[in-house]
Amino acid sequence: MSYKVKFQQVTKKYKMYNKQIEKVKDLFWNRGKGEYHYALNNISFTVDKGEIVGVIGLNGSGKSTLSNLIAGVTMPNEGTVDIKGSASLIAIGAGLNNKLTGLENIELKGLMMGLTKKQIQEITPKVIEFADIGKFINQPVKTYSSGMKSRLGFAISVNIDPDILVIDEALSVGDQTFTNKCLEKMNEFKENGKTIFFISHSLSQVKSFCTKALWIHYGHVKEYGDINEVADQYGQFLKEYNKMSKEEREQFREKQLNELSHGLLNNGTSVSKDTGEHSKEESAEPLSLSRSKRIGNKQKSSSRKKSFTKKVLLPAAAVILLGSAGYAVYAAQSASHLTKQTESKKQSSASSTAQKKQQAEKAVINTKTAFVREEPDLESSQKAVLSFGEIYKVLEEKKDPAEDIKWVKLNAEQGKEGWVSSALLTPYTEQQSTLTNKNIDSLNSLVRSKYNISISKLLSPLSETQKNLMENQALPLTNQYESNDGTLLNYGSVQYVALNNMITEVSLRNVDEDTEDILSLLKKKPLFINDKEGLYFYQSKNYYIKVYTNVKTNKIKIISFVEREKAEGKQMK
């Protein structure tokens, strides 16, 4: 079945400002520095045609940001959002102009969705009938209640007949009669093979209507799969969460933010507290400074106040008065320069391993994610995303003197090729030092104590069929779902990955042990280390071993074993 929506390692962040003047300064000298709130962090999932996905999660987890990305209201900072077809967002007041009447908003939204005047005239009576707001259809939307706005927005969106419908809490404000009417229309869409995202805090509605559930937890995909399994897990979580006191909830949130820091963009800034979703604004409300910080800022700024007024505010006002056309050109140039500058910094600092002078036959990805480009140029389009520990053939190398970047052309199976910065690669040869079975067996006591399974039984399903694993695994299967990497089978904190019905990888998750203590058991140095991202890469005769750590706590998060024979035939995603 072909997919309709695909998210690949998507991150969305919003910059935090202490003062309004900082927003003005950012228009002209935005260098990407500052404090950011990460609404979504490195999320990936795929939704097939005809699926009804219930999006669940706590307030502030990123659900509305997700809906805005699907509908094209906002764009991601990192990763790709692939939407096949038209998408329409239904949220309270979304896409409605408060100064226009209901009738005028029908025409406006129709034009925005690409409808002709004739098509808008044809759907207008249907919209009016479905919305059922009477004479208010001729009144400005600013006079509407939240329920009336929801009615009008829903009526317009369903009659425009989009391929993908995104419903964000739009049914939470209407009466039961209108809710039932909406559910009937949504079932009609379902029968016609439409894809629907249903964002709601009502678990009963989600379970009764949806086929799958996507649990967003503090900007990450916690679970994605069968509606009953995921909804039941979320329901159990809510029971425990609701028992917590205010202080316990705050401690829990802080702990989750620290644990989920894996995969954040590295901007040299700290991640702000997740105080809520910033889905409807491009920036957060100003943060209050501590007293000492305010005093310090005041002392520093007083001597520069007059100079700043002359050098910044007056020129800024002059530039703004030049007109929107001139500003648009400037903004486009600034955005292009910023994108190039940010990515160049990332690529130049991602690896601490020096590249060999001669061209290697193979290279291994030494960072969490590496973008593959059509051409050896930062402005070239991205064609794929590669992950840490993947190994590819090297075809060619080129130097870009303008950007001081060395590019490497990689080749996977079926002739797929692309260019990656050499800073994101480490040369790889088969003759490099390997772990023995005895080295790997030294982890047995850890695996037995934390996961109730021996290291030999943990690794034995690799290269076997998915069916064989499910029939013979002693651990209980907690959940199973599809992802970009294949079928994920979770046995508590042990996760197996099946690709084409064959088990290719197994991961020990939530290890939470001191990095040095565990790695010292292996008694051999890794092939390479990425200190900044806390990544370690080993190999044995049969496996590639990837270790992910939390650089802040110096504790191991994940140890992953990949079957070498299957990994070497891996294709670019």
Query: Does residue 86 fall inside a structural domain?
Result: no
Q: Long-range contacts of range 488-492, CB-CB < 8 Å, 24 or more positions apart?
A: 492/451
Sole residue written with tokens 């249903």: 198
- Domain of residue 315: give its range: 291-321
Q: Which of 431, 454, 469 is where one domain is finished?
A: 431
CA distances from 157 to 153, 194, 512 (A): 6, 13, 47
Check residue 33 and give its pLDDT: 67
Indicate whether 372 and 476 sit together in one domain. no
Query: Does residue 317 fall inside a structural domain?
Result: yes
Tally the domains of the chain: 3
Q: Which residues pair with 312 in a beta bridge?
A: none
CB atoms closer than 10 angstroms to residue 137:
19
CA distances from 127 to 47, 65, 147, 152 (A): 28, 27, 15, 7
Indicate whether 317 and 393 sit together in one domain. no
Indicate whether 422 and 469 sit together in one domain. no
Q: Which of 380, 411, 431 is where one domain is finished?
A: 431
Q: What is the DSSP string of 7-76?
A: EEEEEEEEEE-SSHHHHHHHHHH--S-SEEEEEEEEEEEEEETT-EEEEE--TTSSHHHHHHHHHTSS--
Tell me which residues of the chain have a pLDDT lower than 50: 261-312, 314, 318-319, 321-342, 344-346, 348-359, 569, 571-573
Q: Is the pTM of this model over 0.75?
A: no
Indicate whether 561 and 487 sit together in one domain. yes
- Between CA 317 and CA 556 the distance in angstroms is 52
Check residue 173 and give its pLDDT: 52
Query: Does residue 543 fall inside a structural domain?
Result: yes
**Tokens found for residue 306:** 């007059």
Nearby residues of 495 by Cβ (< 8 Å), 6 or more positions away: 488, 489, 506, 507, 509
Indicate whether 562 and 441 sit together in one domain. yes
Indicate whether 445 and 562 sit together in one domain. yes
Check residue 51 and give its pLDDT: 87
Indicate whether 546 and 562 sit together in one domain. yes
CA distances from 411 to 415, 420, 505, 514 (A): 7, 11, 22, 37
**Tokens found for residue 104:** 């005028």
The three-point CA angle 471-473-477 to 5° equals: 90
Q: Kind and range of the H or E element at 189?
A: helix 176-191
Check residue 80 and give its pLDDT: 92
Q: Which of 431, 447, 472 is where one domain is finished?
A: 431
CATH for 332:
2.30.30.40
Q: Which residues pair with 503 in a beta bridge?
A: 498
Q: Give the ranges where 192-281 is alpha helix by DSSP (H).
A: 203-209, 227-243, 246-259
Q: Kind and range of the H or E element at 160?
A: helix 146-160
